[in-house]
Amino acid sequence: MSPVIYEIDAWPWLAGLGATLGTVPPEVWDEVCAPGIDAVWLMGVWERSPAGLEVARSNPELQSSFRRALPDLHPEDVVGSPYCVRRYRVDERLGGPEGLARAREALRRRGVRLFLDYVPNHVAPDHPAVAEHPDWFVRAADGTVANGRDPFFPPWPDVLQLNAFAPGTRDATVAALSGIADQCDGIRCDMAMLLINEIFARTWGELAGPVPAEEFWPHVIGRLRERHPDVTLVAEAYWDTEWQLQQQGFDHCYDKRLYDRMVHEDAGSIRKHLGAGMDYQERLIRFLENHDEPRTAATFPDGRARAAAVAVATLPGATLWHDGQFQGRRTQMPVFLQRYPIEPFDHALHDFYRAVVVAAAEVRQGQWRLLETAGWPDNPSHQDLLAWAWDSSVVVVNFSDRPAQGRILLVGPDWAGRAWRLIDRLDGRVFERSGSDLAGAGLFVDLPPWGTHVLVRE
């Protein structure tokens, strides 16, 4: 089964605890490793760059974003970007390698895996490779090392661009990933699509040199797997490159398309997205927020957010939750900061998310099937219903702001021949239904706006 991953922004989380990675209290790990969570992604543990920090402290645009998140910003709150990496060594201020080893052991004792980051596209200006291996970098027309960028935005001023076409860069990537894999169970690769040959060539043109015959990721991942065959690799992926990156060796890729549809579109759009083949669906990672996206509580109306949460939790593929999402945090934190703003804790929302995570772990068993819905000529509201089944469960989501009624057409002959108790794992309601009726006309549902059923049959 694909993992359920809980992302923690390591620096502000630890600062709020007054702890390092090696001194997190056991009861805090117990809360993090709640039932239904399979992995913890500690985002931003690597050594941050002093040179990059100076850029961040002198950049007016960045400073403005910091003050929007923290109106009482102090200079020491800015600790630098976790994606401006000086070395892939755990920052001593967070506990160093020894602290990370203790954190990993604490997670392992609770049956939870550890995920960490890798940034393949760029490094900090004071990364040792800048002086020691100048051939690893893209150089501008004037001979200076280019700042890192993607093709649709201005360059990032605090990082320098690695050349994905340089053999030395590829070898160094294998070595860096192998070193990270020694310390964890899974690696999330930042902006992985930027290293696809066609995208890299389009971004950098002649500055990158000749396009290699072999793609970047198959070369790197193939060699990494020789040393670490079981490490899980997650690609941050955009621009409809998910399938391509899956074929190039990643276990899971961000499902940004589903996220956008959850935010902006309707049930029909989401249903169309879920019609893709299972070999693709099972290797996506579903999310409603992460450190790059606005907070769910600030982006979705409450009902829509809850309906979307039930959907992403019970779909095939991996699931990504973000620290603060369950508590209802609304401020999207710039990753440069070491301190969260003070925000109210939404206990009802926290209880809801915890119930969803536990229910999802129960229902996501066996084979997944997208189900059709049916209605009546004078009531087309069934088109707002999303429905799917696992072996012993049915999930129905009214993804609209109005009531919806319809019949869920259940697949498979094993419904007929007996009576069934359908128990909703989110609210405890019990529905007694005839198997013959379910196998014939289907399951009738009547849901309020943004209403859901997570039904387990007994």
Digit-coded pLDDT (tens) for 248-307 = 999 999 999 999 999 999 999 999 999 999 999 999 999 999 999 999 999 998 899 999
Find the helix packing angle between 347-363 and 302-314, rounded to 10°.
20
State the pLDDT at residue 1. 65
Q: Percentage helix, strand, coil, to 5, in the chain? A: 40, 25, 40
pLDDT digits (tens, 9 = 90+) for 376-426: 888 999 999 999 999 999 999 999 999 999 999 998 668 888 899 999 999
Percent of the chain with pLDDT over 90: 93
pLDDT, tens digit (0-9, with 9 covering 90-100), for 65-113: 999 999 999 999 999 999 999 999 999 999 999 999 999 999 999 999 9
pLDDT digits (tens, 9 = 90+) for 143-168: 899 999 999 989 999 999 999 999 99
Is the per-residue pLDDT at 127 higher than 90? yes
Neighbours of 366 (CB within 10 A): 12
Is the pLDDT assigned to residue 332 strictly greater than 80?
A: yes
Q: For residue 362, what pLDDT band results from cuts at 50, 70 and 90?
A: very high
**How many other C-beta atoms can be found within 10 angstroms of the C-beta atom of residue 140?**
12
Predicted confidence at residue 302, as pLDDT, reads: 82
Please, which contacts does 195-204 make with residues 24 or more away whose CB atoms are closer than 8 Å?
195/120, 195/121, 195/164, 196/241, 196/244, 196/245, 196/248, 197/164, 197/165, 199/151, 199/239, 199/241, 200/164, 200/165, 201/165, 202/151, 203/149, 203/150, 203/151, 204/138, 204/146, 204/161, 204/163
Q: Which residue has the tokens 């500690």?
A: 42
Domains of the chain: 4-363 (3.20.20.80), 369-457 (2.60.40.1180)
Region 425-441 average pLDDT: 92
pLDDT of residue 413: 64
Residue 387 · residue 457 · CB < 8 Å: no
**For the whole model, what pTM was predicted?**
0.96
